[in-house]
Amino acid sequence: MRVGILGAGQLGQMLARAGHALGMEFRFLAPPGESCVEGLGELLLGDLRDPALLDRFVQGLEAVTYEWENVPAAAIEHLRRRVPVRPGPESLRIGQDRIQEKQFFRSCGLSVQAFAPVDAPRDFAMALQAVPLPGMLKTRRLGYDGKGQARIKDARDLSAAFEMLGGVPCILEAFVPFQAEISLLAVRALDAGGTEEIRFWTPCRNEHREGILDRTVSPAPELDAVVIHEAQHGVRQLLRRLGHEGVLCVEFFLKDGHLVANEMAPRVHNSGHATIEGAFTSQFENHMRAVARMPLGSTEARGVTAMRNLVGSVGCPQAAMPKGTFLHLYGKQPRARRKLGHVTSVAQREIDAVAACDAAFAALQAQPASARG
């Protein structure tokens, strides 16, 4: 099967590796810039709003998927006239707008924090009435890794924050003093007869550093079965109502034993990277299975996993890796705040998984001998 992927970053790289094992071939289309998919398929670079380029890309493909959520909606509409695009445009549309996303979460039975739109200064007063402070002002669209957001401690901060974010449409939401950040990865697939299959991986607990995911542990140790069951119920509704085919990730805050839904990514997700070694079927393989309408593999965990992102630079990529740990380097040029790779560990106990992952991380981040002076 020949599949097209919109985007050519590390998620595209891991999707293609999983797809190759299933006998698939790939073509990528991405905006100009660095890519991580060399040797994994044909790569076209250009403006995703260019219909001629989209036509070249889609030639001979049997399905198209995407690995980042800011794909222009018009590109998906154009491509869908020629081949199935999975997940479909509805998942992308809802995921691209933080207001619609929260309204949609609520309609699927998931709890959300207080929020209000701030499209222009005339909305300040109404938003401040609806949302208790402290809060966060975020751009409605195109935010990622903590970009496009500002803390609002009191009402006087709002005007400057809105200007700082460029005066674009925003959302004001209540700050949630959470105990932990949790993500839930799910996959939905249809077979040729339209029968659906939905599976979940074990929930992840995520720790961020400067707005970027630093460490993930799965299963998240502090969640009880009832809370997981409720969240899965809401996410199941969400997948069905979107008609989603593929992997989807919902991020939550855990506060006083309850999960508050924050945002979703209609694609494979950084917090699911440890499923490559830590689950019977990875998020990448099951996503490609759903795109191809193949039966899904088991999402059951092989053990407890820990994952750490390698961000900005990797001091010692040749470091010896402790037993039970796995290194993934994406082949990207080092740059501040850039995700260059990740390290994963799988063990029977959380304490061992975290210790092995942290040891591998420390070894990889050690200064090379030549830099020690």
The correct pick among 10, 65, 113, 270 for binding ligand AMP (CB under 6 A) is 113
Q: Footprint of ligand AMP on residues 249-288 (CB under 6 A)?
A: 251, 262-263
359: three-class secondary structure by DSSP:
helix
Taking the CB of residue 125, how many other CB atoms lie within 10 A of it?
A: 11
- Taking CB under 6 A as the binding criterion, the range among 46-54, 88-96, 153-161, 173-181 that sits at the site for ligand AMP is 173-181
Beta-strand pair 212-218/304-311:
antiparallel
**Distance (Å, rounded) from C-alpha 283 to C-alpha 293?**
15
**Distance (Å, rounded) from C-alpha 250 to C-alpha 243?**
16
Of 47 and 207, CB closest to ligand AMP:
207
Cα 64 vs. chain centroid, distance in angstroms?
18
* Residue 292 C-beta: closest distance to ligand AMP, Å: 30
- 101 contacts ligand AMP (rule: CB under 6 A): no
Taking the CB of residue 348, how many other CB atoms lie within 10 A of it?
A: 11
**Distance (Å, rounded) from C-alpha 266 to C-alpha 5?**
14
- Quick one: which of 248, 240, 245 has its CA closest to 191? 245
Max intra-chain CA distance, the chain: 66
- 243 contacts ligand AMP (rule: CB under 6 A): no
- 68 contacts ligand AMP (rule: CB under 6 A): no
Of 259 and 364, CB closest to ligand AMP:
259
- 132 contacts ligand AMP (rule: CB under 6 A): no
- Taking CB under 6 A as the binding criterion, the range among 28-36, 40-48, 168-176, 349-357 that sits at the site for ligand AMP is 168-176
Of 113 and 216, CB closest to ligand AMP:
113
* Residue 263 C-beta: closest distance to ligand AMP, Å: 5
Q: Footprint of ligand AMP on residues 297-356 (CB under 6 A)?
A: none
Residue type, 330: Y
Task: Give burial (CB, 10 Å; 0-12/13-18/19+) of 20.
Answer: middle
The correct pick among 101, 173, 285, 350 for binding ligand AMP (CB under 6 A) is 173
- 176 contacts ligand AMP (rule: CB under 6 A): yes
- 172 contacts ligand AMP (rule: CB under 6 A): no
Of 53 and 133, CB closest to ligand AMP:
133
| Residue 258: strand pairing partners | 255
Of 146 and 315, CB closest to ligand AMP:
146
Of 252 and 326, CB closest to ligand AMP:
252
Distances (CA, A) of 186 to 68, 90, 241, 251, 267: 17, 17, 14, 12, 10
**Distance (Å, rounded) from C-alpha 99 to C-alpha 342?**
31
Place of tokens 């889609």: 58
- 143 contacts ligand AMP (rule: CB under 6 A): yes
- 181 contacts ligand AMP (rule: CB under 6 A): yes
CB 63 within 8 A of CB 291: yes
Element (H, E) at 162: helix 157-164
- 208 contacts ligand AMP (rule: CB under 6 A): yes
Of 35 and 113, CB closest to ligand AMP:
113
Q: Which residues bind ligand AMP (CB under 6 A)?
A: 113, 136, 143, 146, 173, 175-176, 181, 208, 211, 251, 262-263
